[in-house]
Structure 1
Amino acid sequence: MGASGWEYYVPYQEDLGAALDALRQRVFEQHDYYWDPEREDEVGEAAMARPSTIDQLWEDEQVQEEGTHSILDMHLIVRPGGHPGHGTVQPVQPAEAFRMTGTDRLTRAHVQVMEPLADRRWVGRCAVLHDAQGRPEEIWFWGFSGD
C-alpha cells in the first residue's frame, strides 16, 4: 500500500503528550484509521470487527506490520534533546521554526513551509501554532506512516 500522509489540528494545551494521547483516542473512537475488513484471521474466518481498545488494535499482527496510516502509529513525544525513533513525534524547536519561517511564533500561515520537516516515515512532527496576538492556539501534528 505504501505510506500515507496525515495531519491533525487540536486545541492548544501545554502538555504535548496529553494532547497526543487525546488525539489518538479521538481518532481511534472515530475509526479514522486504516483497517482492512476483508482480511481473514489465522483460522480462515473473516476478521471484520474492529478492536475495542487501542491496546487490542496493536495486538493485531497486520497492524503491527503495516500500521494504521494515522496518528495511531505514533506513541510518544520526543523530549528536547532526545532522538526521534519509530512511532515518535518530534516537536518543532524554536531554532527550526526560525530557520524555516523567520519566526519562532508559528501560525497556520506557516504550515506549508513547515511540512518538509516531517521527512522520515514513522516519525511524526508537531508544532504549536499561535493566533494573531501571538498566543498559543492549537497544536499541529503531521507526518506519514504505514506500509
Structure 2
Amino acid sequence: MGASGWSYVTPYRGSAGASLEALQGEVFAQKYGDGEEYSTIKELYADEEFMEEEGTHSILDIRRVVESTKLPRESSTEDYFTVRPLAPARVLIHFGTVRPTVQQYEDAIAQSYAFMQAWRPGDRDTSLLGEHEMPWTGFYVLLHTDDKITHIGFFGSSGD
C-alpha cells in the first residue's frame, strides 16, 4: 500500500482534540461541501470500504487523538487512524526549541518535501516528515507566538 502525506496548520482551540475536530470540519467542507458524495463526516466514516481501503488522503482519515508520545505500532490496530504529539526531544531536534512557531513548522515541512524530491536510494530521512513511518497515522506539534500556544501543526500519511 502506498501512502499520501498531508500537513496542516490550524488555530489551537484549547486541546488537540478540539483543534482536530474543527480542522476536520473545514477540510470536509472543502472536499465534500457540495453534498454530492457525503453530507456529513459521520456519513463519510460510515463508508468503511472507502475509508479503510482508499481514504481521503487528508486529516479526515484520522479518527482520534492519542496523548502518548510513544510511536505507533503497525501490530496494534488501535494505533491506526490516530494522531499523537511529537515527543518533546524530537521537537527540539527539528526546531531547536520546544516552542516552535508557525513559520518554523512551515519551514520544516517545506524542507521535508524538498528532501523527498531529492531523495536517493540509501538516503536516511531525518526531516520532520521522516518522523512519520506508519501509514494511517500522524503527529501534531503545538506552535507558539510569544510563548503562547496559538496554532497546531498536524502531519502524517494515509490513503493509497
Q: TM-score range by the shorter chain?
A: 0.7 to 0.9
TM superposition shift of 1:101:
3.1
Residues 23-55 of structure 1, C-alpha deviations (whole Å, 9 max, x = no match): 1111112216xxxxxxxxxxxxxxx93111112
Answer yes or no: is 1:20 the counterpart of 2:7.
no
Give the alignment's TM-score, normalised by structure 1. Answer: 0.77
Answer yes or no: is 1:142 the counterpart of 2:155.
yes
Q: Which position in structure 2 is the counterpart of 1:89?
A: 83
Residues 78-105 of structure 1, C-alpha deviations (whole Å, 9 max, x = no match): 1135663110001123222123333111
Q: SS at 1:106's partner residue?
A: coil
Q: Which position in structure 2 is the counterpart of 1:102?
A: 96
Give the alignment's TM-score, normalised by structure 2. Answer: 0.71
Q: SS at 2:141's partner residue?
A: strand
Answer yes or no: is 1:31 the counterpart of 2:25.
no
Greater fraction of residues in helix: 2
Q: 1:83 to 1:118 in 2, by over 3 A?
A: closer
Contact 2:69 2:85 in 1 (8 A): no
The higher radius of gyration belongs to 1
**Identical amino acids, percent of aligned pairs:** 40
Q: Which amino acid counterpart does residue 89 of structure 2 have in structure 1?
A: A
TM superposition shift of 1:121:
1.2
Q: Which position in structure 1 is the counterpart of 2:8?
A: 8
Q: 1:91 to 1:25 in 2, by over 3 A?
A: same
**Farther-moved stretch of structure 1 (23-32 vs 122-131):** 23-32
Q: Measure, in 1, the Cα distance between the counterparts of 2:8 and 2:69.
A: 24
Q: Unpaired segments of 5 or more residues in structure 2?
A: 73-78, 109-126
Answer yes or no: is 1:68 the counterpart of 2:51.
no
Q: Measure, in 2, the Cα distance between the counterparts of 1:68 and 1:17.
A: 19
Q: Unpaired segments of 5 or more residues in structure 1?
A: 33-47
Among 122, 128, 135, the residue aligned to 1:114: 128
Contact 2:143 2:149 in 1 (8 A): yes
Across the two proteins, how many residue pairs are aligned to each other?
A: 132
Q: Does 1 or 2 have the higher relative contact order (CA < 8 Å, sep 6+)?
A: 2
Contact 2:142 2:149 in 1 (8 A): yes
Contact 1:127 1:139 in 2 (8 A): yes
Q: Which position in structure 2 is the counterpart of 1:53?
A: 40
Q: 1:49 to 1:2 in 2, by over 3 A?
A: farther
Contact 1:58 1:64 in 2 (8 A): no
Contact 1:98 1:104 in 2 (8 A): yes
